[in-house]
């Protein structure tokens, strides 16, 4: 990978870490791309660089024992559930106020949220 692209990726992760700290996730021990690289090396030797991690490691429907992700699939699944809960809370609150709601999310979120929204709004 060329140096420019590596620098772009490193800067993008640093921006993401800054945003995380800005929304109250300051307890995350990672502050820089160098911190991410060090944490990555603690758990994975292959691929050599953290930005080369295969996408299968982040499939929320897979198990890390199957993909080699060690923990990444389960972390992503829990993150997805957390986001689903937040979206259901926001969407149902707006609908209860009589607002028309239209949300654009990935298909997996739709499947996970549909029944929760029906249940939450049933007493409306």
Contact 92, 84 (CB under 8 A): no
| Three-state SS at 68 | coil
Is residue 1 pLDDT above 70, yes or no?
Answer: no
Is 25 exposed, middle or buried (CB count within 10 Å of its CB: 0-12, 13-18, 19+)? exposed
CA distances for 100 relative to 85, 112, 118, angstroms: 19, 21, 15
Q: What was the pLDDT predicted at 111?
A: 85
What predicted TM-score, i.e. pTM, was given to this entire model? 0.74
Work out the pLDDT band at 110, boundaries 50, 70, 90: confident
- Within 10 angstroms of residue 96's Cβ, the number of other Cβ atoms is 12
Query: How does pLDDT run across 53-79, given as a tens digit for each residue?
Result: 999 999 999 999 999 999 999 999 999
């Amino acid at each position: 990978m060329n140096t420019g692209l590596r620098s772009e990726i490193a800067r993008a992760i640093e921006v993401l870490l800054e945003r995380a700290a800005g929304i109250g996730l300051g307890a995350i021990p990672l502050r820089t791309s160098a911190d991410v690289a060090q944490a990555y090396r603690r758990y994975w030797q292959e691929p050599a660089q953290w930005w080369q991690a295969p996408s299968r490691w982040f499939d929320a429907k897979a198990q890390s024992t199957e993909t080699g992700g060690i923990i990444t699939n389960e972390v992503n699944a829990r993150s997805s559930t957390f986001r689903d809960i937040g979206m259901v809370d926001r969407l149902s609150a707006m609908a209860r106020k009589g607002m028309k709601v239209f949300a654009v999310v990935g298909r997996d979120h739709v499947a996970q949220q549909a029944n929760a929204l029906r249940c939450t709004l049933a007493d409306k």
